[in-house]
Structure 1
Amino acid sequence: MDLNFPGLGPATARLDTTHLFSIAAALGWASGLRLYAVVFLTGLAGWLGWVPLPPGLQLLQSPVVLGASALMLSAEFLADKIPLVDSLWDTVHTVIRIPAGAALAAGALGADAGSWQLVAALMGGTLAATAHVAKATTRAAVNTSPEPFSNLGLSLLGDAVVPTMLWLSWTHPGVFFVALAAALVIMAALTLLLFKFVRRLGRTLQDRFGPARASA
């Protein structure tokens, strides 16, 4: 089955349904982990001519957006390597990653996609939220450990997984969906397993910086 969207242009007007939605899903899911990496890498791939970006995503390949996303990517790369700073960064970006993931997923289909664009937006936002919650929960739990190596290892894993999943969505959509399903299962299990550690961290912070401590 193919979807024919006139607004996509000759290079991307006819895309296999699986291929089209794999791109939208990858953009949404990866935004929950590394939003600025997604914006920069997608825009760079379009600017270099590696992939034909749909009109809804072509803004990402403009020099201004590329420059801004490169700066934010650098800041995120560094912040994600520092214990506690990474959790603060995740907290601030709770209100950014999820709507951005929805917008990027919708942009993969374009305005002429009609109701399909809404479906893509809902899917992208849900995947971004799932990835973001799993990442924030896992990193907050890891931050309870005094050693920095697990934090750094998880951060480097995220740096590698995001471009890999984006590449799979463009080149091997079937393989991407298998990998995405496995990632979602792992994320759900980690979120449930480590939630108690996050609650413990919250109680520790409340004991140290709560009103009772401040008044003392």
Structure 2
Amino acid sequence: MLAALTGMGLSAAAGLNAYIPILIVGLLSNFTDAVHLPKDFAWLGNGWVLGVVGVLLAAEFVLDKVPVVDSVNDTIQTAIRPASGGIVFSATQAASEIDNSTWMSEHPWVGWLLGIVIALIVHVMKSTARPVINATTVGAGGPVVSAVEDAGSVGLSFVAIFLPILVIAFLIALAFMAVWTFRKVRAFRARNRRRPVPG
């Protein structure tokens, strides 16, 4: 149970920012005993890999705060964020030793699939809401929301690793946010359809 919650939390964090949970997992595996990477994922702790991830994170940090560019970036990230979710979910399956569960290690594809799906759901919510936020705030809300998303990805990554039981509360909040986002986007589109065309 704890392993699954850790994987779900990290995958959700990857849906917000693909690089933050990978960087945190890699750094913690190198400098603490909190994360033990399976042999197949030892490369996540490699200094060169962490350096490349750090550079990509810096680029993402800037691009995601520029209106219009953030939407283009979200389109590109449609493949990257779910892949990152699959990686971090699978890479932290070593935590299954904590709750004496071998089922996940015997079915590795489940970790990949769950990680990809969770990250994709969060990514779709983020990329669907961002154009609406930019349009309704004339671009001013995008950088603020992006900073909140980055902070959320950092916080959720640490919670998933050190207090995985709290991931349940996040997943419940995520379900409510998904409903709220869907309603707001639908209302925004309905308003735009009703708006008279000039000329």
Which TM-score applies when normalising by structure 2?
0.82
Number of the residue aligned with 2:135 = 144
Aligned equivalent of 2:16:
33
Q: Which runs of 5+ in 1 are unaligned?
A: 1-17, 202-216
Q: Which residue of 2 aligns with 1:105?
A: 89
Structure with bigger gyration radius: 1
Looking at structure 2, the residues matched to 122 and 109 of structure 1 have their Cα atoms a distance apart, in angstroms, of 13
Question: In the alignment, what sits opposite 2:98?
Answer: none
**Could you tell me the percent identity over the aligned residues?**
25
Q: Is 1:46–1:52's contact at 8 Å kept on the other side of the alignment?
A: yes
Q: Does 1:179 align with 2:162?
A: no
Q: Distance in 1 between matches of 2:77 and 2:132?
A: 18
Q: Deviations over 1:66-89 (max 9, x none)?
A: 100000000000001100111100
In structure 2, the CA distance between the partners of 1:200 and 1:42, relative to structure 1 (3 Å rule), is farther
Tell me the distance in 1 between the aligned counterparts of 2:179 and 2:113: 19
Contact 1:24–1:124 (CA under 8 A) maintained in structure 2: yes
Change (3 A) 1:198 1:140: farther
Q: Structure 2: where are the runs of 5+ without partners?
A: 95-101, 193-199
Contact 1:141-1:194 at 8 Å conserved across structures: yes
Aligned residue in 2 for 1:155: 146
- What is the one-letter code of the residue matched to 1:125? I
Equivalent in the alignment of 1:114: 106
Structure 1 contact 137–195 (Cα < 8 Å) conserved: no
After the TM superposition, which segments of 4 or more aligned residues of structure 1 sit over 6 Å from their partners? 198-201
Contact 2:37 2:92 in 1 (8 A): yes
Aligned in 2, Cα 1:83/1:105: closer, same or farther, shift over 3 Å? same
The residue matched to 1:143 in structure 2 has which SS? helix
- Residue 50 of structure 1, CA deviation: 5.3
**CA contact 1:140–1:198 (8 Å) conserved in 2:** no
Task: Write the distance in 1 (CA, Å) between the matches of 2:147 and 2:164.
Answer: 24
Q: Tell me how far 1:20 sits from its aligned partner.
A: 0.8
TM-score, length-normalised on structure 1? Answer: 0.76
The worse-fitting range, judged by mean Cα deviation, of 167-176 and 84-93 is 167-176
1:126 equivalent to 2:117? Answer yes
Asked which structure has the greater RCO (Cα within 8 Å, sep 6+), the reply is 2
Aligned residues: 184
Question: 1:38-71, CA deviations, whole angstroms, 9 ceiling, x for partnerless residues?
Answer: 2112212222225232214432111011100000
Q: Residues 13-52 of structure 1 correspond to what in structure 2 (within 5 A)? A: 18-49=1-32, 51-52=34-35
The RMSD of aligned alpha carbons is 2.5
Deviations 1:22-50 (A, max 9, x none): 12112211111100112112212222225
Contact 2:9-2:164 within 8 A present in 1 as well: no
